[in-house]
Amino acid sequence: MLFKVWIVFVVVSLILKCDGIAESAQCSDCTDFKQCPGIQDFISKKASDSMKRFRDAICYFDRQNPRSYGVKVCCSMLQEVENRPTPQQIDLLPDRCGEINQDRIIGTEKVLPFDFTWLAVFNTTRTPKSHCTGSIINSKYILTAADCVKDVEVRTVRVGEYDLNTDLDCIGYGPEIDCSHHTDMDVEAIIVHEGFQWNSREHNIALIRLKSPINFKDDLDTLCLPKATKIQELSITNKRGLMVGWGNHESVLLKSYISVTNDTYCDNHYPRSAALRKHTLCALNMSKNSSCMDAGSPLIIPTKYGDYPRYVQYGILHSSICISPFRLYTDVASYMGWIAQNLLE
């Protein structure tokens, strides 16, 4: 009974408040909202953004006869894990992260050892042989794409790497020389998003938990994630960022500049289901000789984080064939709840 009252309340307020209901959602499961599986859970949670999410999911609205409650929604858009991190878990992500080496942000495409100290690289047992990239988000976890780790074995993850073909990666001359030596870390567990689908690439996100914690030194750091709500809500459309990874043909770490596109532009180049659209973003390569990055590579945007600009990871590259400059990324901000919920001490 209580449930019914709530539903009526939600719908009536929708109708009264929103002359401007857009009916913009598109999906293959546009259904009378009362029939959506899990609708009861969705509404009973009364999360502060339920109303907005409900409104965004509306795919049909009977304007002529509003009192009939003839509202249809994309059920798939209402049905996912609650994206609300618990404070304790989100605090496992450090605030000291993503330090920007001011000298080297702008300009060349060339990357030097120590420029990006929060990357990880690992071999997968998939054939043809390939490697994937991930990012260090705290001392025990690497964030990567589900299509890198699902159904394959990953025994170790390498941190502090620059040139895959050399043991020591050095900069400087004579007494000023500074070298970084990679470390192979043993993997304890791989956590793939429970909703990940090979075909659609929905929920293409995974975490790798290391057996022992990373010992942070000069050549190792963590990358920032959009931890604060304010940063999650920042519009990054048309923002310029960086993509960092090894690519699949080079041995040395690469970076290329990218620009995040708007959704319309993205949809025209890359048709996405409603569910995929909600959790992905697209970016265009802006670098003349950008190569194909490997799956799991982070899309980062320098963002004010606390008091300083820091590198914040907004995307995870999906594996793809590099035929166009267009790339699809998992939208990290929309998975902060999932990430936090899956972190252990």
Ligand X SMILES: *[C@@H]1O[C@H](CO)[C@@H](O)[C@H](O)[C@H]1NC(C)=O
CB of 261 to ligand X, least distance (A): 6
Name the 3-class secondary structure at 55. Answer: helix
Which H or E run includes 338? helix 336-341
Q: Choose, by CB under 6 A, the member of 41, 91, 95, 109 that binds ligand X.
A: 109
CA 202 to chain centre: 12
In terms of CB distance, is 33 or 122 closer to ligand X?
122
Find the shortest distance in angstroms from Cβ 288 to ligand X.
6
Strands 298-305 and 308-317, by their bridges, are antiparallel
Site string for ligand X, 209-248 (x = CB under 6 A): ----------------------------------------
Residue placing its CB nearer to ligand X in the complex, 39 or 283: 283
> Collapsing DSSP states into helix, strand and coil, what is residue 28?
coil
**Which lies closer to ligand X via its Cβ, residue 255 or residue 279?**
255
Contact between 249 and ligand X per CB under 6 A = no
Q: Are 31 and 75 in contact (CB under 8 A)?
A: yes
**Encoded amino acid at 226, one letter:** P
By CB under 6 A, residue 322 contacts ligand X: yes
Return the residue of 144, 180, 285, 342 that touches ligand X, per CB under 6 A. 285
Residue in the structure block whose two tokens are 């920032």: 224
Query: 147: which 2 tokens?
Result: 């299509």
Cα-Cα-Cα-Cα dihedral sign, residues 312, 318, 322, 325: negative
Would you say 140 and 217 are in contact if contact means Cβ atoms under 8 Å apart? no
Least distance in Å: CB of 150 to ligand X? 19
Site for ligand X contains 257 (CB under 6 A): no
Contact call for residue 48 and ligand X (CB under 6 A): no
- Applying CB under 6 A, among 31, 40, 79, 123 the residue interacting with ligand X is 123
CB atoms within 10 A of CB 74: 25
Q: Which region, judged by CB under 6 A, interacts with ligand X, from 9-17, 61-69, 97-105, 258-266?
A: 258-266
The yes or no reply on residue 290 touching ligand X (CB under 6 A) is yes
Closest CA to 41 of 75, 87, 16, 69: 75
**Binding residues vs ligand X (CB under 6 A):** 109-110, 121-123, 156, 158, 254, 262, 264-265, 285-286, 288-292, 322, 325
